[in-house]
Amino acid sequence: MKVLYLYCKDRPLIGFGYFFVFFLIFLAVFADLIAPWPPQTANPDDYLQAPSWRHLFGTDETGMDIFSRCIYSIRLDLSIAFLGTAVSAIVGTAIGAFVGYYEARGRLKTVFSSFTMRALDVIQSFPVFVFAIALVAIFGQGLYSIIAAIAFVNMPIYVRLMRTQALSIRQMRYVEAAYLSGLSDVSLIIKHIVPNSMGPILSHLSVNVGWSVLLAAALSFAGAGVEAPTPEWGSMIAVGFKNIVTGQWWPSTFPGIVLGLTVFSFALIGASVEVLADPVRRRAAIAKY
């Protein structure tokens, strides 16, 4: 905690990243108290109002308050991103640990490893975004499909990260000692390999949450994700799309700014985790204190 404070003291932008994420979570939790208008109630009298004190971010074509909708979107977008990232990290880490541990270890295990890696190559040669949309189309449009699609397209990174780690950790003497003491492969991986490989995975997690928010919004923008009138940044941008040519910029602009700041904050946190998770770089970063 103290290290984090010292680190942010010199880097106000990183500090902002942490602040903004906590702020978002605060807004999401207390959305009911903070949002001045109901997020999904159309108000035809107030349609396409420019930003004012009454409507801080203006209203969209059905008269819904954009500020309130932006706040309620946090709940949905962050939940999708957190869940999607968590699923891909857990599944990807598990697969990666086995792939790395089994590589070049007995015929059957090696076949398993190389088959999995080739399968990853194939999956990764699909265009990410269209693949995600196709997955949503296959699973049927809905929240769980979006989460599943996000989890699926992010998974290969975790498999690769974990595989590289497992390949080096399995050489460690304590892993050999555990192997000799008769531990089964599964408990050996759970007890020794995974806990000692978490560094790079943790620093990727934060960046990945940001990407997932972006992907979720993009899916909704394309019409394959959350549908209006449910408040969601991507679909709000899509709704405001046709107004922008005629000069009403606010329905698309504000959700985009909030979305961009959110992703940026997670990227900043990710960048700091990368430094802070490495003891050597951590010490160098706060050396002068």
Partner 1 sequence: MALIRYIGRRLLFVLPQLFGIVAVSFFLLKMIPGDPALLMLGPLASQEAINEIRSVMGLDKSLIEQFVIYLERVLSGDLGTSWQTTKPVMEDLLKRFPATMELVTLSLLFALILGIPVGILASLLKKSIINKFSTYYGLLAGSLPDFWLGLIFIFVFYTILGWAAAPMGRLDLGILPPAVVSGSYFIDSLIAGDWETFNNVVAHLTLPVLTLGLINAGPIIKMTQSTMDRLLESDHIRYARSCGLGEFQIVRRAFRNSLPSVLTIVSVLYSFLIGGAVLVEIVFSWGGAGQYALSGVLNADINPVMGFVVWSAVLCLILYLIVDLLYFAIDPRLRD
Partner 2 sequence: MKILEVNDVVKIFKTKGGNVRALNGVSLDIDEGKTVGVVGESGSGKTTLGRLIVGLINPDTGSISFEQRSIGSKVNIRHPDIRGKIQLVFQEPSESLDPRIKVGDSICEPLRGLGIEKSSWNSKLKIVSEKVSLAEEQLSMYPSQLSAGQQQRAGIARALITDPKLIVLDEPTSALDPTARAEILSMLQDVQKEFGVSYIYISHDLSTVRYLTDETAVMYLGEIVEFGETSKIFSRPSHPYSTGLLSSILLPDPEIVMDESLELSGEIPSPINLPKGCFLESRCPISTKECSSHHPDLITSDDRLVRCFEVEKMKDIVQPSSKFEDFDKSFDDFMTKRYSSSVQAGNN
End-to-end Cα spacing for the chain: 15
284 binds partner 2 (CB under 8 A): no
Residue selected from 79, 196, 230, 243 as contacting partner 2 according to rule CB under 8 A: 196
Q: How far is the CB of 171 from partner 2 (least distance, A)?
A: 9
Q: How far is the CB of 5 from partner 2 (least distance, A)?
A: 24
Residue selected from 2, 182, 247, 288 as contacting partner 2 according to rule CB under 8 A: 182
Cβ proximity to partner 1: between 25 and 138 the closer is 138
Q: How far is the CB of 272 from partner 1 (least distance, A)?
A: 11
186 binds partner 2 (CB under 8 A): no
Residue 201 near residue 93 (C-beta atoms within 8 A) = yes
**What is the largest distance, in Å, between two alpha-carbon atoms of the chain?**
76
179 binds partner 2 (CB under 8 A): yes
Cβ proximity to partner 2: between 134 and 178 the closer is 178
Q: Which residues pair with 271 in a beta bridge?
A: none
178 binds partner 2 (CB under 8 A): yes
Sequence-distant (6+) residues with CB within 8 A of 181 are none
Q: How far is the CB of 171 from partner 1 (least distance, A)?
A: 26
181 binds partner 2 (CB under 8 A): yes
What does 94 interact with, of partner 2, partner 1, none (CB < 5 to 8 A by kind)?
A: none
What does 267 interact with, of partner 2, partner 1, none (CB < 5 to 8 A by kind)?
A: partner 1
What residues numbered 157-176 form the site for partner 2, per CB under 8 A?
172-174, 176
Q: How many CA atoms lie within 13 A of 60 on its CB side?
A: 30
Cβ proximity to partner 1: between 35 and 263 the closer is 263
Size of the site for partner 2 (CB under 8 A): 15
Residue selected from 108, 122, 180, 287 as contacting partner 2 according to rule CB under 8 A: 180
Sequence-distant (6+) residues with CB within 8 A of 142 are none
What does 165 interact with, of partner 1, partner 2, none (CB < 5 to 8 A by kind)?
A: none
Q: How far is the CB of 203 from partner 2 (least distance, A)?
A: 17
* Residue ranges that bind partner 2, judged by CB under 8 A: 172-174, 176-183, 191-192, 195-196
